[in-house]
């Protein structure tokens, strides 16, 4: 059992390495010493969360340390060694590692991380119906990701951090999220390959890490190799995201 | 099969014990209102084609706590005529009318948006009969939600929904304290979305959405919410 788990994690780690990544630190069972990254921008590509993921249930949780740019074993879920977890259906709920995060793996633990999503309705209208909360065009132009990301140069004043998850946008709930879940394929009537598809949106998340450092993060895809226009033929469970972390403790996110 | 029967009878036995040893004082106060099987939009289906259903988005259903009047909002004209007022307190919206929102003019994307409604909602992790007082304005401000629907596990919903069997399971012992459209305090328990309020549903095609819920509105303007039932 343990070896199987370790094997999976090893695969996940390997998948996490992308060209422009800093090399991930060695696996440290205790994790406390750590191997922090430098202030900078990192892109995590095809991170394997759960390749058997379907819409039929929760995927295997995936714990990530932004400060060390690495996957953290599930056995350390009740430690401060990770900052965010990809949890739930299609790993779509991004929870901070926070002991108060009800319903999350970090609940009751020592975690102090928090999370927020920046919602800029003036920007959103470029791709999104701000009254009915759904994309107005698919695929959403890729250029909007860079635009949204580069606009965030600091932690916005008054941004409301939460300990709950940031996940699917207004999916039978009232919360802004990073992805639109087209449950019934209603954006593409009559095409069954388009039901149960998650479309990432150009929304920037701000994470306050467990150790109190700020990072901005943008989800790019939950499908293998980030297809521009995903459907049911694409494999979910491969998370691609970009993040920039400020290690000096300031709110400055103007990070190349 | 035999094992299952045994487990069920054990459960029944336990439940029976619970009842006979229950010597807590009965809750006191005014009576709550129970609404059973309120028919919502049973004509819509946005998934697989189903007999007698159209493939279109669900109409919203509004409901007034005071008059118990409900109304399906089917058109733009209906929206203009019936939504921008305080004649309704909650609306059952979106897929299977399962996202329940309050009437508040400031809540974009909800039926009351742009109207005079002052509704608000706070989720309380207590059984309905143990909710005896509405929380402070500060709590409504800081912890308020526009509405409740699917609970992904984060505690912000009224039902769990498994995508493996597509069945809604209401969350037990969770109560919603509301401000009504006109600003009175109320409490609400959302009990079921299936016709007949069955305790367990295993049939995906069980008739839905038929909403069963219980509520109490404190008409004297105070925050007291104790009820006899």
Closest by CA to A179, choosing from A160, A203, A163, is A203
Q: Which residues of A touch B101 (CB under 8 A)?
A: 174
Q: Give the tokens for residue A50.
A: 């759960």
A2 φ/ψ angles, rounded to the nearest 5 degrees: -65, -40
pLDDT value of residue A100:
93
pLDDT at residue B57, rounded to an integer? 85
Per residue in B89-109, pLDDT (tens digit) is: 999 999 899 999 999 999 988
Between A83 and B56, where is the model more confident? Answer: A83
CA A140 to CA A201: how far, in whole Å? 7
- CB B221: neighbour CB atoms within 10 A? 9
What is the strand order of the sheet A84-87 is part of?
A70-72, A62-65, A84-87, A93-96
Mean pLDDT of A16-43: 62
Cβ pair B147:A57 closer than 8 A: no
Residues from A contacting B (CB-CB < 8 Å) are 55-58, 87-89, 93, 95, 101-104, 130-133, 164-165, 167-168, 170-175, 183-184, 186, 189, 195-196
Q: Which burial class, exposed, middle or buried, applies to B47 when counting CB atoms under 10 A from its CB (0-12, 13-18, 19+)?
A: middle
Residue A18 has pLDDT above 90, yes or no: no
- Looking at the predicted structure, is the pLDDT value of residue B17 above 60? no
Residue A21 has pLDDT above 60, yes or no: no
Chain B interface test: which of A171, A172, A189 (most B C-beta within 10 Å): A172
pLDDT-derived band at B198 (thresholds 50, 70, 90) equals very high
- Asked if B20 is an interface residue toward chain A (Cβ–Cβ < 8 A), one would say no
pTM: 0.81
């Amino acid at each position: 059992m343990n070896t199987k788990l370790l094997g999976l994690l090893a695969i996940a780690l390997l998948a996490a390495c992308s060209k422009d990544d800093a090399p991930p630190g060695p696996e440290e069972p205790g994790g406390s010493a750590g191997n922090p990254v430098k202030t900078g921008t990192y892109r995590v590509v095809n991170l394997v969360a759960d390749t058997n993921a379907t819409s039929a249930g929760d995927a295997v949780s995936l714990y990530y340390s932004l400060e060390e740019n690495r996957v953290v074993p599930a056995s350390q879920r009740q430690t401060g060694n990770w900052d965010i977890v990809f949890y739930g259906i299609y790993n779509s709920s991004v929870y901070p590692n926070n002991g108060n995060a009800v319903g999350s793996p970090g609940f009751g633990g020592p975690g102090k991380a928090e999370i927020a999503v920046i919602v800029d309705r003036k920007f959103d209208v470029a791709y999104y119906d701000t009254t009915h909360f759904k994309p107005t065009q698919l695929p959403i132009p890729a250029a909007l990701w860079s635009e949204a990301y580069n606009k965030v140069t600091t932690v916005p004043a008054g941004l409301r951090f939460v300990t709950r998850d940031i996940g699917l946008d207004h999916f039978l709930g009232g919360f802004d999220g990073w992805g639109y879940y087209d449950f019934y394929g209603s954006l593409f009537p009559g095409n069954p390959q388009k039901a149960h598809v998650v479309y990432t949106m150009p929304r920037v998340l701000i994470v306050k890490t467990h150790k109190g450092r700020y990072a901005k993060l943008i989800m790019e895809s939950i499908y293998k190799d980030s297809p521009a226009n995903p459907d049911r033929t694409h494999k979910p469970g491969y998370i691609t995201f970009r993040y920039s972390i400020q290690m000096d403790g300031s709110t400055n996110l103007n990070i190349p | 099969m035999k094992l299952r029967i045994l487990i069920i009878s054990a459960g029944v036995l336990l439940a029976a014990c619970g009842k006979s040893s229950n010597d807590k004082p009965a809750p006191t106060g005014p009576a709550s209102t129970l609404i059973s099987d309120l028919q919502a939009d049973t004509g819509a289906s946005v998934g697989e084609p189903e007999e007698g259903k159209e493939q279109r988005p669900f109409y919203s259903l509004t409901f007034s706590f005071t008059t118990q009047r409900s109304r399906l909002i089917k058109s733009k004209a209906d929206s203009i005529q019936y939504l921008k007022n305080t004649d309704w307190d909650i609306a059952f919206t979106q897929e299977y009318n399962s996202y329940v929102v309050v009437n508040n003019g400031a809540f974009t994307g909800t039926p009351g948006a742009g109207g005079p409604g002052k509704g608000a909602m706070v989720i309380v992790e207590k059984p309905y009969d143990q909710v005896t007082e509405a929380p402070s304005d500060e709590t409504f401000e800081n912890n308020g939600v526009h509405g409740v629907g699917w609970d992904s596990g984060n505690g912000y919903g009224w039902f769990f929904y498994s995508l493996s069997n597509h069945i809604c399971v209401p969350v037990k012992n969770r109560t919603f304290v509301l401000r009504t459209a006109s600003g009175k305090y109320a409490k609400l328990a959302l009990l079921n979305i299936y016709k007949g309020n069955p305790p367990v549903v295993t049939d995906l095609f069980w008739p839905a959405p038929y909403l069963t819920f219980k509520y109490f509105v404190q008409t004297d303007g105070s925050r007291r919410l104790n009820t006899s039932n």
